[in-house]
């Protein structure tokens, strides 16, 4: 459906044309003097030069032509040459009625749907999720939802890190601890056991132990590298262990992501790309892209326009081992072969930007992707503690995501019990839902590329620009609507009437912005746009709510129109939080 601003711009363009001016001057923007008017057009200012006329005269001309236009209640020329616009309340009511009936809430999808693979999450097998993984999961999930809402076919891939040294380290440590396990017996011929020889908690203890030891003990490190190498060559016992590690980890990861309301369509892994490596490298060599440099095999990716040094992309180390870049390139080969997407979008820590510049350039230069396949990198900033440094546990260790979620939920639980009389069991469930909003909104309301401070007190507050404030507003609306229904009010087929207060009109105008906001969030890959919009909507609603009698309204037509307005507000807020990846409880 058409946007309200399109109606305004059409009216303005016509007015310009009818007085002999260029219709392109009829652009409309939100007023920067909301005390004087709602929207404004600066076209007369822009046209002054072209028509050798004082801008104010043009503005007067155009305002005069708008006298009978049903879109505006008032179009006024003001010095030096602005056109101040106030929307006609009846027109606005009609527009809101259409908006209320529109499933897409005035969002227009692009004509062509695209197929996009989003690479997010990026956890590493056998290592617990830490706060660094939070942003990739939360931002990626939201982008997946935004792109789908806009009609794209999205394939979300977790791209598990399962193939590096961490595997060799775990295998080595296991070998030291339990040398008698069949997996280490070189001439074992039977079936390996189905049961893993460790639990997830053991695994999570084994990895850091192995990693620490490898840093001090050269011999041990060598062993781990050797184990990694043998695994990658397909040693049957190691492969069986790797399988166990994978299964135990994936089960745990799934549980964690579920708690975050984050999901993936594909659980592909770095190891899945390995079969594509040999051919890829042969081709890069044969076609002259790859050459040797100090024993390593590299592809130059420098470009003349570079302002900083971009080192070559390394395909193979001097010992023949493949690297992170090799795996990412082979994954691109695999994705092209299996899915042929229009775009691959990587949601990864911005400190990995150089890696992706190298990989993307190499993929493009060597023809791994088609000319019009888009490769994009959305790099996000760091989650910091209140001291401005990367968030750590009290003891100074890496903050596990699980503990972070628990801290937020505990604080939310405390606030909810303090505030309300909800029964305890319900309060636990509610605290989880509201806690998730606190966590995700706290993250997504920041521009992704910026670092932010993880502030539990602020994130869990019911006031201010927070998830709980948004949910609180939705719950308030839901409860008015259900009280209205309990009293026999009808919810279907309600007509919308012109606003009768300034706050009501302001809410209506705010709601008309949903469509262009979502389209912008889509174009810019920017969930934070949704946050600011729903925050403003919640503010506009609460202002309206505090000065309006809704259920006590005596005029039944007016009351029904207010209910209709509540329904649209609710739908926009609920759609907004759904795009962010969380939901509102019934009560709070």
Interface residues toward ligand ARG, by CB under 6 A: 119, 122, 124, 159, 161, 328, 346, 348
**Whole-number Å distance between alpha carbons of 537 and 572:** 9
Report, in Å, the least distance between residue 119 CB and ligand ARG: 5
Q: Which is nearer to ligand ARG, 299 or 506 (CB)?
A: 299
**Whole-number Å distance between alpha carbons of 355 and 368:** 17
- Residue in this structure with the two tokens 């942003």, named with its chain if needed: 135
Q: Put the strands of the sheet holding 39-41 in their side by side order.
A: 28-30, 39-41, 82-87, 72-78
Report, in Å, the least distance between residue 394 CB and ligand ARG: 24
Q: Which is nearer to ligand ARG, 326 or 569 (CB)?
A: 326
Q: Which is nearer to ligand ARG, 325 or 465 (CB)?
A: 325
Report, in Å, the least distance between residue 577 CB and ligand ARG: 27
Alpha helix (H) ranges present in 274-393?
A: 277-286, 324-338, 353-365
Note whether 364 and 303 are within 8 A (CB): no
Report, in Å, the least distance between residue 536 CB and ligand ARG: 34
Report, in Å, the least distance between residue 407 CB and ligand ARG: 23
CB-closest chain residue to ligand ARG = 122
**Whole-number Å distance between alpha carbons of 562 and 551:** 9
Note whether 368 and 380 are within 8 A (CB): no
Report, in Å, the least distance between residue 471 CB and ligand ARG: 31
Q: Measured at the alpha carbon of residue 380, what is the angle toward residues 379 and 381, in degrees to the nearest 5?
A: 130
Report, in Å, the least distance between residue 274 CB and ligand ARG: 14
Interior/surface letters 439-476, b for 16+ CB within 10 angstroms, e for the rest: bbbbbbbbebeeebbbebeebbbbeebbbbbbbbbbbb
Report, in Å, the least distance between residue 160 CB and ligand ARG: 8
**Whole-number Å distance between alpha carbons of 213 and 193:** 28
Report, in Å, the least distance between residue 293 CB and ligand ARG: 23
Q: Which is nearer to ligand ARG, 248 or 378 (CB)?
A: 378
Note whether 118 and 345 are within 8 A (CB): yes
Residue 510 structure tokens? 């705010």
Q: Which is nearer to ligand ARG, 98 or 451 (CB)?
A: 451
Report, in Å, the least distance between residue 145 CB and ligand ARG: 20
**Whole-number Å distance between alpha carbons of 166 and 158:** 18
Region of 493 (left: φ > 0; alpha: ψ -120 to 50; beta: rest) is left
CA 487 to chain CA mean position, Å? 40
Note whether 152 and 117 are within 8 A (CB): no
Q: Which is nearer to ligand ARG, 124 or 466 (CB)?
A: 124
Q: Which is nearer to ligand ARG, 348 or 518 (CB)?
A: 348
Q: Measured at the alpha carbon of residue 270, what is the angle toward residues 268 and 276, in degrees to the nearest 5?
A: 100
Q: How many residues does the chain have?
A: 588
Q: Which is nearer to ligand ARG, 124 or 575 (CB)?
A: 124
Q: Which is nearer to ligand ARG, 448 or 481 (CB)?
A: 448
Q: Which is nearer to ligand ARG, 161 or 468 (CB)?
A: 161
Report, in Å, the least distance between residue 136 CB and ligand ARG: 7
Q: Which is nearer to ligand ARG, 399 or 508 (CB)?
A: 399
Distance of CA 566 to CAs 12, 73, 479, Å? Answer: 31, 24, 11
* DSSP structural state of residue 198: S
- Residue in this structure with the two tokens 């503690």, named with its chain if needed: 385
């Amino acid at each position: 459906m058409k946007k309200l601003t399109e109606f305004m711009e059409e009216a303005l363009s016509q007015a310009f044309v009818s007085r002999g001016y260029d219709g392109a001057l009829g652009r409309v923007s939100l007023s920067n003097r909301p005390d004087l008017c709602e929207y404004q057009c600066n076209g007369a200012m822009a046209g002054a030069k072209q028509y050798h006329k004082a801008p104010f005269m043009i503005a007067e001309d155009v305002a005069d032509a708008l006298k009978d236009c049903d879109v505006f209640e008032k179009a006024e020329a003001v010095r030096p040459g602005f056109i101040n616009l106030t929307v006609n309340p009846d027109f606005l009511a009609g527009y809101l009625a259409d908006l209320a009936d529109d499933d897409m809430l005035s969002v227009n999808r692009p004509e062509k749907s695209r197929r996009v693979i989003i690479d997010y999450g990026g956890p590493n097998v056998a290592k617990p999720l830490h706060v660094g993984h939070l942003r990739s999961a939360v931002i990626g999930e939201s982008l997946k939802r935004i792109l789908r809402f806009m009609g794209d076919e999205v394939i979300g891939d977790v791209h598990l890190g399962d193939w590096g040294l961490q595997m060799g380290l775990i295998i080595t440590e296991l070998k030291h601890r339990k040398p008698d396990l069949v997996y280490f017996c070189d001439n074992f011929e039977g079936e390996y056991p189905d049961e893993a020889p460790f639990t997830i908690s053991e695994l999570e203890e084994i990895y850091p132990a192995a990693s620490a030891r490898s840093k001090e003990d050269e011999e041990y490190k060598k062993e781990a590298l050797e184990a990694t190498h043998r695994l990658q060559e397909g040693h049957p016992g190691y492969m069986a262990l790797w399988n166990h590690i994978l299964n135990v980890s994936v089960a745990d990861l799934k549980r964690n992501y579920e708690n975050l309301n984050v999901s993936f369509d594909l659980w592909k892994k770095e190891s899945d790309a390995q079969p594509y490596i040999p051919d890829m490298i042969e081709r890069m060599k044969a076609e002259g892209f790859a050459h040797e440099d100090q024993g390593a095999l590299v592809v130059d990716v420098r470009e003349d326009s570079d302002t900083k040094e971009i080192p070559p992309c390394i395909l193979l180390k001097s010992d023949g081992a493949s690297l992170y870049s090799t795996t990412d390139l082979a994954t691109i080969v695999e994705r092209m072969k299996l899915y042929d997407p229009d775009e691959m979008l990587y949601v990864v820590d911005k400190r990995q930007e150089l890696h992706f510049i190298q990989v993307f350039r190499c993929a493009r230069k060597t023809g791994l992707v088609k000319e019009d396949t888009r490769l994009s990198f959305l790099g996000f900033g760091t989650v910091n503690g209140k001291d401005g440094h990367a968030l750590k546990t009290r003891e100074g260790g890496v903050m596990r995501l699980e503990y972070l979620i628990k801290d937020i939920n505990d604080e939310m639980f405390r606030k909810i019990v303090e505030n309300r009389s909800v029964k305890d069991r319900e309060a636990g469930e509610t605290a989880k839902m509201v806690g998730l909003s606190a966590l995700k909104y706290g993250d997504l309301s920041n521009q992704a590329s910026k670092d932010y401070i993880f502030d539990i007190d602020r994130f869990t507050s019911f006031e201010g620009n927070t998830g709980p404030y948004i949910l609180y507003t939705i719950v308030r609306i839901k409860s008015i609507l259900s009280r209205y229904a309990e009293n026999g009010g009808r919810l279907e087929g309600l007509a919308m009437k012109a606003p009768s207060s300034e706050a009501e009109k302001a809410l209506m105008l705010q709601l008309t912005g949903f469509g262009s906001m979502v389209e912008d969030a889509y174009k810019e890959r920017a969930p934070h746009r949704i946050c600011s919009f729903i925050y403003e909507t919640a503010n506009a609603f609460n202002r309206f709510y505090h000065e309006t009698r809704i259920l006590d309204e005596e005029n039944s037509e007016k009351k029904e129109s207010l209910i209709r307005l509540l329904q649209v507000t609710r739908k926009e807020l609920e759609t907004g939080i759904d795009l962010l990846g969380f939901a509102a409880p019934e009560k709070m």
